[in-house]
Structure 1
Amino acid sequence: MRLSGVYFAVAAGGFRRYSTYRVATAAGVFTNTVFGFILAYTFTALWSERPHLGGYDESQALTFVWTGQALLAAAALIGGGFQEELQERIRTGDVAVDLYRPADLQLWWLSADLGRACFHLLGRGVAPIAVAAFFFELALPASPLTWAAFLVSVVLAVVTGFALRYLFALSAFWLLDGTGLNMLSTLLSMFFSGMLLPLTVFPGAFGEVVRLLPWAATMQVPADVLLGEYEGAGVLGAFGFQAAWAAVLLAAGRALQSLATRKVVVQGG
């Protein structure tokens, strides 16, 4: 089997793996929906006092909320996925088996994470938005091209999120316990992705800086693509921003992986 077929099989395996957790998926849908209602009513109160805050009207702000809930698990905005598993394999020394495989370590875990993200987008992303559409006036696009652009942006968001978490996961080569860095990764993602508040709300130079950080590519940019905030070549610019961060972070992960496997003795091995 060619390596491309191997990675496709790994992605399909990641999809099947998470599809077996039906009770957990149902619980996740429930949790996303409840949390979405809490945020939606909070945003409604905030936007009633500050109309057009961050450049959004109330329906756009509500759509932003529910887009975040749709991407919460798919883009692993609050952690999850492969990160803890890879760290445990590094800690126990099982990563040595992974390194002996005739496949690239980074691409192996990226493929598995893409399969996971695909399942979560379908299993935990569609239902909350469908429920929200019955209770709120959402600014969902009518154009199929906008939806297609949104899906492209989501794929780039997932890859960028993976690349960020991969860097944190590799810390296990040097640290006995990566819990602290995992918590830091989650906090950075929650605040700088736009999950709690749109990044356009932040004023001045601080707002300009946070919109240039890689976390913006995981949530803020896909939401703005869905809301039609980018027009024409602006959509390609949004894709370019996400792709550039994905490429830079993947390259950094590959460099750190090379350093770790050359210089560090696997713990337990």
Structure 2
Amino acid sequence: MYAAVAAGGFRRYATYRAATAAGVFTNTVFGLILVYTYLALWDEKPHLGGYDQAQAVTYVWLGQALYSTLAIQGGGAEKELMGRIRTGEIAIDLYRPADLQLWWLASDLGRAVFQMLGRGVVPFVFGALFFPMALPNDVTTWVAFVVAVLLGMVVSFGIRHLAALSMFWLMDDRGVSQTLMVTGIFCSGMTLPLNAFPGAFGDIVRVLPWAAQIQMPADVLMGEAAPLGAYAFQAAWAVALLAAGRLVQSVATRRVVVQGG
């Protein structure tokens, strides 16, 4: 059943062809802006964050490939779930003979896989064609990278699902959505690699769950992190976030009152 839900999530986003094409163009343009910014920065600091210039360029295009895949600033399945809680349609979801968390996880994974293939691949290939990038030559590293991305998808869902569940109490998603956007862009390393963050502040952001989204897959791809260590970090946060979501969901749905019924 959950495989069918994931397939449905994939097909649903595949129907928005114009939006996908616009997203590819937008990610490519932002990639170009960031690449030239990074090139200027790495000219001044050639080994910032332990990366050379080719690795910094690779990090930029990888970030653009994963931006929508991991819903870095929100806008995945959690957005629809927030709306369903606010309108009371969540009651229908609770009547389904399916686990609420697993249902939305499957749907979001389907969305994420489509976004990676439909919106992420083209900007990454564009970057590889026109800029020097630090890409591995062996298949094993690419497979390890794909696993890291899949774990990053689960961590991303865990963060956003917790935010969505807050609607049971807040009933207004604007503040939560803004918080998701800011923390997602900044703490995931979308703006600057987390390796480049200085001192104690850098130590803190590198152990937060957002580090599992871009930083870990990037380091696995470029050989800066052992895959097993990266997986352990990502899996630990995935389990912790899903468990926290399960607990909050249990508290929130213990007594649900739907307006009008």
TM-score range, shorter-chain basis?
over 0.9
Distance 1:84 1:161 in 2: 13
Query: How big is each residue's C-alpha offset from its partner over 1:168-187, in whole Å with a ceiling of 9 and x where there is no partner?
Result: 00111111211111110111
After TM superposition, what 4+ stretches of structure 1 lie above 4 angstroms from structure 2?
none
Distance 1:195 1:104 in 2: 32
Q: TM-score, with normalisation over the residues of structure 1?
A: 0.95
The count of corresponding residues between Structure 1 and Structure 2 is 261
The answer for the alignment partner of 1:249 in structure 2 is 241
CA change 1:177–1:38 in 2 (3 A) is same
- The one-letter amino acid paired with 1:221 is M
Q: TM-score, with normalisation over the residues of structure 2?
A: 0.98
**How is 1:28-39 mapped onto 2 (pairs within 5 angstroms)?**
28-39=23-34
Distance 1:266 1:157 in 2: 34
Name which of 41, 52, 58 aligns with 2:53. Answer: 58
Distance 1:110 1:250 in 2: 10
The answer for the alignment partner of 1:46 in structure 2 is 41
Report the CA distance between 1:268 and its aligned residue. Answer: 5.9
Report the CA distance between 1:267 and its aligned residue. Answer: 5.2
Report the CA distance between 1:199 and its aligned residue. Answer: 0.5
Query: How big is each residue's C-alpha offset from its partner over 1:83-135, in whole Å with a ceiling of 9 and x where there is no partner?
Result: 11101111111110100101000000000000000001100111001111222
Name which of 235, 244, 256 aligns with 2:227. Answer: 235
Distance 2:51 2:91 in 1: 50
Name which of 259, 262, 265 aligns with 2:254. Answer: 262
1:91–1:267 CA contact under 8 A, matched in 2 = no
The answer for the alignment partner of 1:184 in structure 2 is 179
Distance 2:164 2:259 in 1: 14
The answer for the alignment partner of 2:161 in structure 1 is 166
SS in 1 for 2:123: helix
SS in 2 for 1:158: helix
Query: How big is each residue's C-alpha offset from its partner over 1:4-57, in whole Å with a ceiling of 9 and x where there is no partner?
Result: xx0000000000000010000000000000000000000000000110100000
**How is 1:47-126 mapped onto 2 (pairs within 5 angstroms)?**
47-126=42-121
Query: How big is each residue's C-alpha offset from its partner over 1:208-253, in whole Å with a ceiling of 9 and x where there is no partner?
Result: 11100000001111111111112xxx31011010000000000000
CA change 1:31–1:268 in 2 (3 A) is farther
> Unpaired runs of 5+ in structure 2?
none
Report the CA distance between 1:266 and its aligned residue. Answer: 3.8
SS in 2 for 1:174: helix
Name which of 197, 213, 217 aligns with 2:212. Answer: 217
The answer for the alignment partner of 1:12 in structure 2 is 7
- The one-letter amino acid paired with 1:84 is K
CA change 1:212–1:268 in 2 (3 A) is farther
Report the CA distance between 1:202 and its aligned residue. Answer: 1.0
SS in 1 for 2:119: helix
The answer for the alignment partner of 1:198 in structure 2 is 193
What RMSD over aligned residues (CA atoms) do the two structures have, in Å? 1.0
Identity %: 64
